[in-house]
């Protein structure tokens, strides 16, 4: 076993947001609904069973991103305060990623500052688009500027795909909307848009984390970079596509326990860019740990994935 195991994409929810979440966002799994409210004994028991030392906890998508600005601000602050109290009660076992009220970009900057500087959170999580708007729009750049200044990462988590994409591509087969296809499509699209927006030239030290072994991008990285070399010359970017992904992004193992996919990620990005996550409670802690333990890599590389990389990126 490694000396320490840190998990980075582990969720909770507050009653207020749970009760307002309907439609595609409603959580239907009894396993998830029974565990998401828990910030104590049950969570710790299942962490102990798997040997997980620390969870970096975040509100399950979409948090308060889908509401009007005033509602989003209120519910986001309440959720972050709940998470802070849990972290204060279990300071060696829990840490937090802030939720942000992205319908109000300026208040999102303020909430990020509050959560990091006053509450000790390790970064923030943004889940999908904000009422149909992608996060690369200039109105949201203040969030990334503040994250760079605070030296904390932003975790880009999936959300329900853009309504137009659901209407055109997915609605005939609802199973495609969620984790099996639509979530990855949504997050990968936002990631590529961020790279082409030029934000990493403006903020070269900005750090972004992606779950689920990079939402498919490592598999497509060579091809995306090949296209960029002869079609992206007039975009004014300072680096190649693959350079941005290898230098500004980290990925986690959350909810994608495929050894061939992991090998692809390690070969494309290097072990220093891969961190451990489970995606609890949607996946089992024990399954996530066994996945990395059984990987055909060295003990030293397993230690990097299990904890050393996260300790460096999140300053844990």
Nearest to 253 by CA among 309, 206, 300: 309
Looking at the domain assignment, is residue 18 inside a domain? yes
CA distances in angstroms from 273 to 253, 265, 278, 292, listed in the order given: 11, 9, 16, 15
Report the predicted TM-score, pTM, of the whole model to 2 decimal places.
0.96
Share above pLDDT 90 across residues of the chain, in percent, rounded to a whole number: 90
Which pLDDT score, from 0 to 100, does residue 22 have? Answer: 58
Are residues 99 and 63 in contact, defined by beta-carbon separation less than 8 angstroms?
yes
pLDDT digits (tens, 9 = 90+) for 216-262: 999 999 999 999 988 877 788 999 999 999 999 999 999 999 999 99
Average the pLDDT over each of 28-37, 40-49, 98-107, 268-277 and give the range with the smallest value: 28-37
What is the rounded average pLDDT for all residues in the chain?
95
Residue 138 sits in which domain range? 6-313
Under the banding of pLDDT at 50, 70 and 90, the label for residue 25 is low
Which pLDDT score, from 0 to 100, does residue 19 have? Answer: 72
Structure tokens at 309: 């990389």
Residue length, the chain? 316
Looking at the domain assignment, is residue 73 inside a domain? yes
pLDDT higher than threshold 80 for residue 31: no
* Catalytic residue list contains 287: no
Looking at the domain assignment, is residue 178 inside a domain? yes
> Domain total for the chain?
1
The one catalytic residue in 38, 279, 287, 301 is 279
Which pLDDT score, from 0 to 100, does residue 235 have? Answer: 85
Looking at the domain assignment, is residue 1 inside a domain? no
Looking at the domain assignment, is residue 104 inside a domain? yes
197 or 15, higher pLDDT: 197
pLDDT higher than threshold 60 for residue 1: no
pLDDT higher than threshold 90 for residue 200: yes
Which pLDDT score, from 0 to 100, does residue 234 have? Answer: 79
CATH number (domain holding residue 150): 3.20.20.140
């Amino acid at each position: 076993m490694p000396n320490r195991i840190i998990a980075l994409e582990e969720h909770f929810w507050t009653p207020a947001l749970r009760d307002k979440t309907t439609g595609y966002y409603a959580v239907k799994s009894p396993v998830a609904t029974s565990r998401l409210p828990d910030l104590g004994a049950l969570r710790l028991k299942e962490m102990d069973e798997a040997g997980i030392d620390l969870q970096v906890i975040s509100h399950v998508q979409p948090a308060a991103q889908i509401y009007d600005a005033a509602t989003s601000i209120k519910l986001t602050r309440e959720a972050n305060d709940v998470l802070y109290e849990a972290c204060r009660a279990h300071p060696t076992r829990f840490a937090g990623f802030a939720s942000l009220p992205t319908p109000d970009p300026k208040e999102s900057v303020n909430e990020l500052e509050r959560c990091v500087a006053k509450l000790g959170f390790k970064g923030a999580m943004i889940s999908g688009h904000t009422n149909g708007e992608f996060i690369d729009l200039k109105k949201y750049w203040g969030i990334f500027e503040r994250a760079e200044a605070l030296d904390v990462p932003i975790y880009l988590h999936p959300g329900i795909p853009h309504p137009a994409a659901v209407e055109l591509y997915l609605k005939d087969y609802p199973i495609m909307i969620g984790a099996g296809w639509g979530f990855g499509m949504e997050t990968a699209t936002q990631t590529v848009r961020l790279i082409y927006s030029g934000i990493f030239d403006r903020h070269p030290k900005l750090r972004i984390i992606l779950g689920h072994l990079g939402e498919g991008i490592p598999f497509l990285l060579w091809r995306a970079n090949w296209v960029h070399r002869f079609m992206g010359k007039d975009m004014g970017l300072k680096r190649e596509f693959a350079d941005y992904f290898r230098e500004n992004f980290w990925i986690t193992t959350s909810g994608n326990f495929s050894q061939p996919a992991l090998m692809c990620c390690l070969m494309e990005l290097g072990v220093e860019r891969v961190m451990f996550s489970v995606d609890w409670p949607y996946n089992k802690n024990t399954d996530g740990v066994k996945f990395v333990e059984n990987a055909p890599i060295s003990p030293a590389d397993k230690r990097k994935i299990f904890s050393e990389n996260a300790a460096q990126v999140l300053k844990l």
